[in-house]
Amino acid sequence: MRYIKFIVLVVIFIVFMVFFYQNTAELGTSIQLKLHLLSQEWISKPIPFYAMVLIAFGCGALLATAYFFLDKLRCGAKLREAREREVKLEKELNSLRNMPIEPAYPSAPVEDTSSQG
């Protein structure tokens, strides 16, 4: 399975390299980002388009990593809580197993009705 994953990643990498090579002129064009907000205007320096693509990819990878890391922490906390509850319930079960079996209420003496008659 490892080898299949590795081969798939290599193929994807080669496809992206071919894409970048074939679109060098288009990806090399510079763009400026503009933001107009509350009578303020911000304009970035000219940035090559390929840099924007790589920055967007990097930001997406970082956000996905952060999300899955937080999810792993949350799942770890739930697992720890479940294990603590399991230990508590096992102790309770063992204590109940070791209790003697006694009726919850005292039984009334049984009268012998067969000899009367």
The pLDDT tens digits of the residues spanning 100-111 come to: 777 666 666 666
The pLDDT tens digits of the residues spanning 21-71 come to: 888 888 888 988 899 888 889 998 998 888 888 899 899 999 999 999 999
Long-range Cβ pairs for the range 99-102 (8 Å, 24+):
none
Query: How is residue 117 written in tokens?
Result: 């008659």
Q: How far apart are CA 45 and CA 75, in angstroms?
A: 43
Q: What are the residue ranges spanned by the domains of the chain?
A: 2-97
Q: How far apart are CA 78 and CA 66, in angstroms?
A: 19
User: pTM (2 decimals)?
Assistant: 0.54
Cβ-count burial 67-105 (b if 16+ within 10 Å, e if not): eeeeeeeeeeeeeeeeeeeeeeeeeeeeeeeeeeeeeee
Residue 72 pLDDT > 60: yes
User: Which residue shows structure tokens 């922490």?
Assistant: 73
